[in-house]
Structure formats: C-alpha cells, structure tokens
Amino acid sequence: MRTYDNPILEALPKHLQRYVVDQNYDRYSAMDQAIWRYVMRQNYAYLKDYAFYPYIPGLTKAGLTIERIPDLQEMNDSLKRIGWGAVTVDGFIPPAAFMEFQANCVLVIAADIRQMEHIEYTPAPDIIHESSGHAPIIGEPEYAAYLQYFGEVGSKAMSSGKDFQLYEAIRHLSIVKEREDATQEEIDSATKAFEEIANNMGEPSEMALLSRLHWWTVEYGLIGSVEDHKIYGAGLLSSIGESVSCMQPEVTKLPYSLETITYSYDITKPQPQLFVTPDFQHAHAVLEEFADGMAFRTGGIAGLRKAIDSGQVSTVQLSSGLQVSGVFEHFISDTEAFAIKTTGPTALAFEGKEIKGQGKKHHPDGFSSPLGELLGQKKSLEDCTDTDLQAMGLEIGKFCTLYFKSGILVSGQLDAMVRERDKLLILTFSDCTVVHEPSNKTLFQPEWGVFDMAVGDTISSVFAGAADKFAFDPEVSVSSTKTEKIVRTQAQLDLFSIYGQIREIRRSEVETGTLEELVQEVINHHPEDWLALVELYELSVFNGDTANTKRIKDSLMKKAEQKPDLHKLIVDGLRIAETQPINLELVK
C-alpha cells in the first residue's frame, strides 16, 4: 500500500490496508475533470454563503483545487499537517472498516467519479463526495476530534448478521446505478433486492443505529439553530442539487438529539428531514449518550449475545481484564454468562496486546472456558494472590479442583498461570477434565491437550474485532462485487478528445478559431452533451467573443427546453460562467 510519506498511513493496520486500492490518476478522463470542475465551481459559488464557515478555507487546507480532481499525494501532503491522511478504495466498504479508518484519522475516498447523468448527486461514493465533502471541514479542530472519536466508538460497534447482507445490497445497487450501460431491468432488480433486505432487518444492531447518527451528522448534518443554520454534512456539501434543496422550508429541520436514531435513511433519495446541532460539543454529547448503552461499555450476557449474532470476530473482555477474541457461538448460559465458547482461530490478550503463547496458532480451532465465582470462596479468583491460591489447594505442579457456582467442575494438574497488574488472567492445566454437572455434560477431556482457563467473574465489555488487530490480523471479508469499468465506444472516445482539447486550451492562449471549431463539432456530432458547451461558453466569455457566446447559449437553452431535467444544470452553468470568470493563471 502506498503511504504518500504520511506517518498516519504508515501506521495503518494491515487488515485495513487490504481495502486500499491505487488511485491510478490516469483513470480520470478530461470529461471526468470537467465534471469535477463544474461541481466545484457551483459549490464554491453557492456554499460560500451556506456552508459552515471553515469549508471554503478548508478546501486549500485539504489540498483541493477547483480546477482538477485531487491527487492523493497532494491531499496527504496537506492533511498530514493536521494529523490526518487519505486513501482510495473501491466504492462502499463495510461500515466497521469505514469507522476504523476514521478512528485512525484516515479519510476513505472512493477512487471513481460520478457519471455525467449523476452530476448533481450519486448514491455511490465517489471522489467528489469523499474529498470535497469530508476533507475541507477536517481543518476545524472540534469537528476533526468529533470525527475521530466517532470512528473509535463505531469501530467497537456490534453488527448483526444481516448488516453485511444489507451492505452488499447497497454496494451492488450503487454500482449498478452508476453504470452507464445499466438497463432499467438491472436497476429495478438491484433495487428490489436492496428493499427486500432493508425491509426485513429485524431489530437494528448497534452499528445500524450508530450509522444513523453518522448519517444525520457527518453526512447530512446542519449546524446552528433550527431557524438559522449552515451545512457541514459531506453528503450535502458534495451535492449541487441537495445542497440547495435542503435549505428550502419544505425540508423539515429538527434539533439533533439521541432520538435521531429512530430515523432511518435511504441513500438513493433526497432526505425528507435534516437535523441541526448547535455545535460539535453537542454532537459529541449525543454520541457519548448512545455509547453508554453499547456493549463495549455494558458487557454482560446481552453483549455476548450480540457477539454471537454478528457471526464475525468479536472480543469479550472479562472483569479480570483478559480479552478473548474470536467468533463466538452459543454455549451454556442462563440469566448470566457463566461460560464462553468460540469457533475457529482465537487469541487471548490484555490491554489490546496479545499474550505470549496465546495467539491463533495456539488456539486454531476455538476456545472455551467457564466464568464466574467459585463455590465457597468469598474472594474472586482473579484477585487471588499466590498465598490465596495455596490456601485453596492451587499450586503449580499439583493436581487441583475448581468448583464454580454455576456447577462447572474443573479438575487437573496446574501447570502455569498468567498475571497482569495484580490480576490473575489464565490458569493452564494438563490431564484436565471440565464437566457441567447440572447437565452431566463433558466440556473438556484430557486427550484434547492442555486446558487454558480464562479467569474472570463477569463480562465487562464486548466489542467488534480483535483486541490486538496487529497480531490477530483477521481475514477481512472484502466484497467480491467490484466497481465495473466501462468499455468506451468510439463516439465517447471522440467526445473525450474534445474535452481534452478544451482543457488544453485553458492551459494556453485561447484561440477563437479553435473554439468555434469545437463548438461546431459538439453541436453537430454530440447533441446529447451539454457540459462541453458550458466549458466552451466560459472560454468564449473570457475571450470576449460575443458571437460565439450567443451561439453556445442559444444551443444550450434549446437543450434546456427539450430536456427539463437539464434545465437547472445548464442555467447554473451559464450563470457561473458569466458571474465567476475563469482564472487562466490558476489553471496553469
């Protein structure tokens, strides 16, 4: 993975690096550059009055320009000065991974750019949304702190088994909608599949609820008061359509609070309501209120059940501080958890660091252990000193017995123990038998090898992912559905060539004769295109060519009349060309 000489990216965990793809700057055609430029010119003209005040100066702080699609090296050169970095990925990535990138102060940027047909808004993540939407506000310290802390909380959120199904459906739908050659049948099929899953999710998971808070703040948030507010959400800042429509009274504005988690959202449609936070401290307080009810803070059997339901690698932390990371499965339990069991590779850690000899190689097929208090003992096993253990008959090299209040009996030779910070974490037995006497069920037999018993009375925390991600290095589930690359027709390639010539003209002396030839070629051979004419109109206005400007404007207005869905785009393009002259010095 390329790190762009940015220390933030150099420290990125390996399991996150797998999502990163090369930006491959040559992928962007001259038409792509024109799409970026159109959106940014519109945004600059409008958002200087309606965006949260750090947005405009933040464009420069983030290494962005109006003239061209950002290069990740330039972005990282700028972002690393404020302790952040940026990487490119292929479209949507799972929410848990997205949050973890954010926790590591890394912006995830979709490498592709939207089609002309979706220039106002696209449901698929693209470089316009991710860079021009998210990056400029990061220069505001309070927002950057909120964003990073949200990532920390989000990276611990438990997902349900259906969350990943929904992610795949959303990813597939966004890819299909952004494809130039997608048929209506394909779009309808992808939409139906998404809706079927979305409408049958059951009780929303922690991640699903947290995603709503993220959506209504980071993506679609307003700041100020219900009566007087500005835009700071990246989804709005990067949409030249919704950034305008969202400020209309028809879109309900509500105070931002924890009740926001009851509002779901549809990424394919304009939002019917938005939420206004007075400041980022308030948004932080709402996040903190939600976090207080999450499994990473509450633990218990409810947290364990969330880990089981997720079907993904999770960590159960015991009251002793021992952390067990693996895929948890159903085991004996009642009103409280008195045993845990994983399947597949499992690791034991303490304070986020894997305990020596207790990694996946030692526990390749799973791990199980009783929990809870011992029968007849007032002191918790985790708090026992060596003297306490000797009084209980627990000495290295001797055969001993532990009887739990839950009815689990552990008998074997004690071979070793692990302590950290005066807490007993692990007892290792050989020739060991573990039996649940109430059910007469054998849980461990001597021929299975050594038995590492986790020590802990209760489950204090449950969170997504491994405790020591660097050591555990889980097999990341990267979607097999990739953003599709379109094979271009000759007519499209010819049009790209025209855009390339227009771009080169802006880098050199403007030649009236060349402009007239290009205008004629677009009008005669590419009647469906309007953006090239807007670019040529800008150059003609700059050059003072009144005859050419009239001809282009007449052609564009005719298109606007024939295609009402283009009317606003064309009129806005003409207005910006007339009121915001291009700066050829900046282009050079």
240 within 8 A of 39, measured Cβ to Cβ: yes
With 0-12 / 13-18 / 19 or more C-beta atoms within 10 angstroms meaning exposed / middle / buried, residue 454 is buried
* Spatial CA neighbour of 158 closest among 93, 207, 204, 99: 207
Distance of alpha carbon 460 from the chain centroid? 27
| Token reading at 334 | 């009642």
337 within 8 A of 304, measured Cβ to Cβ: yes
- Asked if residue 578 belongs to a known ligand binding site, the reply is no
- Asked if residue 129 belongs to a known ligand binding site, the reply is yes
Helix ranges (DSSP H) in 464-580? 469-472, 490-506, 512-525, 531-543, 546-562, 564-579
Beta bridge partners of 342: 328
Using CA atoms, how far apart are residues 97 and 16, in angstroms rounded to an integer? 7
- Asked if residue 15 belongs to a known ligand binding site, the reply is no
Count of residues in the chain: 588
Using CA atoms, how far apart are residues 488 and 532, in angstroms rounded to an integer? 18
**Residue 134 DSSP code:** I
Go through 35-55 and write b for each residue having 16 or more CB atoms within 10 A of its CB, e for each that does not: bbbbbbbbbbebbeebbbebb
| Token reading at 387 | 């003297």
Using CA atoms, how far apart are residues 281 and 294, in angstroms rounded to an integer? 20
* Spatial CA neighbour of 40 closest among 553, 574, 576: 576
Indicate the pairing of strand 273-277 with strand 252-255.
parallel
- Residues at the binding site are 129, 134, 219
Sequence ranges of the binding site for Fe cation: 129, 134, 219
